[in-house]
Chains A and B, each alone.
Chain A
Amino acid sequence: MAKVNLAKIVNMNISHYFIVQMGPPDPILGVSEAFKKDSNPKKMNLGVGAYRDDQGKPFVLSCVRKAEAIISAKQLDKEYLGIGGLAEFTKCCAQLALGNDNEVLKSGRSITVQTISGTGSLRIGGNFLSRFHAGPRDVYLPKPSWGNHTPIFRDAGMQLKAYRYYDPSTCGFDFKGALDDISKIPEQSVIMLHACAHNPTGVDPRPEQWKEISDLVKKRNLLVFFDMAYQGFASGDIDRDAWAVRYFIEQGHNILLSQSFAKNMGLYGERVGGFTVVCGDVDEAKRVESQLKILIRPIYSNPPMNGARIASTILSTPDLRSLWLEEVHGMANRIIKMREQLVAGLQKEGSTHNWQHVIDQIGMFCFTGLKPDQVERLTKEFSVYMTKDGRISMAGVTSGNVGYLAHGIHAVTK
């Protein structure tokens, strides 16, 4: 241990500056920390939702590498972006979500700003609501929702409430419960909807169900905030995954929308995202844009270039875009295959439980239905790391370890 200058210590004020408690470890990222420390060669990290290939390795998309080479050759400067970000990116970002021919984009009555991935987008949205939303302070989240939604909106100054969503008895959508709760939400409250591949359950409403939700939300005059972190990743088809968002806009909802390119382009660490507000008209969009800039500037001034440049190059270069669509499709397909293999594996183990939900659920995550004590056993006895709510990231499952996983799950549930 380094020598310490006692004289300095005696003269120094004891730290009374910060009466700081130790912050609890992040429930999701804490899983990865524990996984790292485990020496079991068979260990599996099914915690964080980052895609892995069938060898369990991170996957850098070819379209990303190609885009990086193109960008590198251009030898661009590093001048500050505007507060709202790279214009080519925000245009592509909005078009991807809404569809190129969307009336909203043609009329110019929406504003999209580049954000620090999905988290940054949600936070800007929360800050914007906190400052300008005249309605109730409450944001209604589906029960359950992504763990970080609650602290994000709370830190933004909003309050959190919930509507029923997941039915543990079916491991599916509690449609009746959702409608029941939504019908009681006070007017002008904010309701958060996961556009596709619900996190953490993987349970999405069917189109007919979305239609009823839209009607009810309209009737209750609620402000819709879509979180779309998995466009393309859920079904493998970007238009299909954006269906709910586009339907709601068609139905007249002026929505707020958060987008992330972390998963569907594998650009996790580059922090690429967008925040969109669909407004009543062009004038309102301009006013909203000016206020978003006022919110963004005192957080980070302007967003990072690298990831946005990669994303916009891919989206606006036809052969890169086609390649991207193929690769997204490939990632989604591998996950679907793993779901099927996991269920087959469980059946082979002799499990008598109904595991259909593993196949019915969609996207990166699967709500296994495991109880906390079963999860604990799975971790302690089999070194399978997952969050306590029974959520597993299917992306961490490979053809090499799916059998082991089936074995472990069967062992703790038989």
Chain B
Amino acid sequence: LALSMSIFSDVPQAPPVAVFKLTADFREDSHPQKVNLGVGAYRTDDCLPWVLPVVKKVERLIVEDDSLNHEYLPILGLPEFRSASSKVALGDDSAAIQENRVGGVQALGGTGALRIGAEFLRRWYNGVNNTATPVYVSAPTWENHNSVFADAGFKDIRPYHYWDAAKRGLDITGLLDDLETAPERSIFVLHACAHNPTGTDPNQEEWKKIAEIMKRRNLFVFFDSAYQGFASGSLDKDAWAIRYFVSEGFELFVAQSFSKNFGLYNERVGNLTVVAHDNENLTRILSQMEKIVRTTWSNPPSQGARIVSKTLNCPELFAEWKGNVKTMADRVLLMRDQLKAKLQGLGTPGTWDHITQQIGMFSFTGLNPKQVEFMIKERHVYLMASGRINMCGLTSKNIDYVAQSIHEAVTKVQ
């Protein structure tokens, strides 16, 4: 009964997003020893999702509070959430905050913060609606970075050297070289800590060198901060790079996610922190951010922001949260230690120091695509084609099986 030839008859089937396809395949697998080292979500040692105790506590408070309603938040989000979030990133003693030149845009997760920031930059940075400004993302990077900036309108998205496969570490020479040769005013997406997917971060000296070149060459700093607290267990330590750049006088953006460090994945809690030159600029910037938000989602969801805001703004809850974050970070560190020890114990060829040198949720194992295929097909251990594993998927119960699987992959498959 449908009308003439459908208008969408030519719409092609899009490939599934890789990381979700991996989880889908894992779910369908009936092998008793299967392990999912794909999606970046925290798991307990029983391989279960973990709702943070402080989150449970705060949620109960919210449900029981009859004075709360479901009215619209302001376009830029819950004010207490925005200010507390920026403070977490920049520090309690942040001069920039005291100077009133820091603002936040509550967004839907880190993705939403990146997208709003990218839309703003495309419209107002380096001219008006300049889609030609180069955007540099690390090689490799979170695969969605490319799409976020491309869909925001940028036409020239380029890789900067980052991962050195041969030495299994940071290609700092290549990185610094790219900074020196990038067109002035280019945008650089920097991972604040716990680089996704490699788990490899610049050290402080390297960050200083990066900052020096970026300042000299007028490059724009866009931090992606999805793992603050999760990487080392310390909020301040994980924010060192951001705070250093701010203290060096950069105007910059920080896309913050509370998905991992609060375990609030599906509530979509994020914040775009804007560090501006001064309050007057900040005001104008935020007014334009409002226009972008208004045509994207009008105003952000309230539940997750309420949970985070209540927690960050109450000293006892804040302390409890930091404890919960350390619990997660510590379990990951333990799994790193144990995986490395087991691979060394098995005599698996190669060096495995990178497992404990890398930081955060992910590890770039160094397994090649064929070895990854072996892991999935023969051993039912699911990981990304890049060789990235989510350390949170490891438990005391499956770590021997995974270590043995890696051992076989490396020895049997070239």
Contact = CB atoms under 8 A, between A and B. Distances in A.
A82 to B, nearest CB: 7
B14 A290 contact: yes
Interface stretch (A4-12, A87-95, A317-325, A358-366): A4-12
B165 interface: no
A34 interface: no
Interface stretch (B276-284, B336-344, B352-360): B276-284
B275 to A, nearest CB: 11
When A and B form their complex, which 9 residue pairs have the shortest distance between CB atoms, in order from nearest? A15-B277, A300-B108, A280-B6, A298-B147, A23-B287, A269-B302, A119-B298, A12-B249, A116-B297
Nearest to B150: A298
A18 B298 contact: no
Nearest to A11: B249
B115 A279 contact: no
Contact of A284 (B9, B39, B59, B292): B9
A20 B3 contact: no
Interface string A143-170: 0000010011011100000000000000
Given A81-B266, A287-B14, A291-B14, 15 more contacts: A18-B276, A26-B291, A50-B72, A72-B59, A78-B51, A78-B55, A116-B297, A279-B6, A284-B6, A286-B13, A290-B14, A293-B16, A304-B266, A304-B303, A307-B301
Given A297-B144, A298-B147, A80 B39 contact: yes
Interface stretch (B95-103, B169-177, B363-371, B375-383): B95-103
B264 interface: yes
Contacts of B316: none
B300 interface: yes
Contact of A18 (B14, B95, B124): B124
Interface centre among B6, B41, B109, B283 (most CB of A within 10 A): B6
Contact of A26 (B60, B75, B100, B296): B75
B244 interface: no
Interface stretch (A129-137, A172-180, A339-347, A380-388): A129-137
A279 B16 contact: no
Given A134-B10, A269-B70, A78 B112 contact: no
A305 interface: yes
10 contacts: A58-B71, A83-B20, A155-B295, A221-B4, A252-B1, A254-B6, A268-B70, A287-B14, A298-B150, A298-B152
Contacts of B55: 78
Given A72-B60, A291-B11, A300-B109, A23 B251 contact: no
Given A23-B291, A50-B72, A298-B147, A17 B300 contact: no
A302 B268 contact: yes
Given A18-B124, A83-B20, A78 B266 contact: yes
Interface in B285-320: 285, 287-288, 290-292, 294-304
A305 B147 CA distance: 23
A300 B115 contact: yes
B271 interface: no
Contacts of A154: 295
A306 B301 contact: yes
B11 A287 contact: yes
B14 A304 contact: no
B206 interface: no
Interface residues of B, number: 89
B70 A267 contact: yes
B350 interface: no
B147 to A, nearest CB: 4
A294 B14 contact: yes
Contacts of A252: 1-3
Interface centre among B220, B267, B302 (most CB of A within 10 A): B302
Contacts of A288: 8, 11
A277 to B, nearest CB: 7
Contacts of B108: 116, 299-301, 303-304
Interface in A117-142: 117-120, 123, 132-135
A68 interface: yes
Interface centre among A119, A151, A221, A253 (most CB of B within 10 A): A119
Interface of A: 2, 4-5, 8, 11-15, 17-23, 26, 29, 48, 50, 58, 60, 64, 68-69, 72, 75, 77-83, 116-120, 123, 132-135, 148, 151-152, 154-156, 188, 218, 221, 223, 252-254, 262, 266-271, 277, 279-280, 284, 286-288, 290-291, 293-295, 297-307
B312 to A, nearest CB: 17
B166 interface: no
A60 B71 CA distance: 9
A117 B72 CA distance: 11
Given A80-B265, A151-B295, A134 B71 contact: no
A223 B7 contact: yes
A393 B1 CA distance: 40
A15 B281 contact: yes
B9 A22 contact: no
Nearest to A103: B1
A131 to B, nearest CB: 9
A119 B295 contact: yes
Contact of B294 (A12, A26, A68, A291): A26
A346 to B, nearest CB: 30
B126 to A, nearest CB: 8
A31 B165 CA distance: 57
A82 B99 CA distance: 41
Given A72-B59, A271-B300, A302-B266, A20 B288 contact: yes
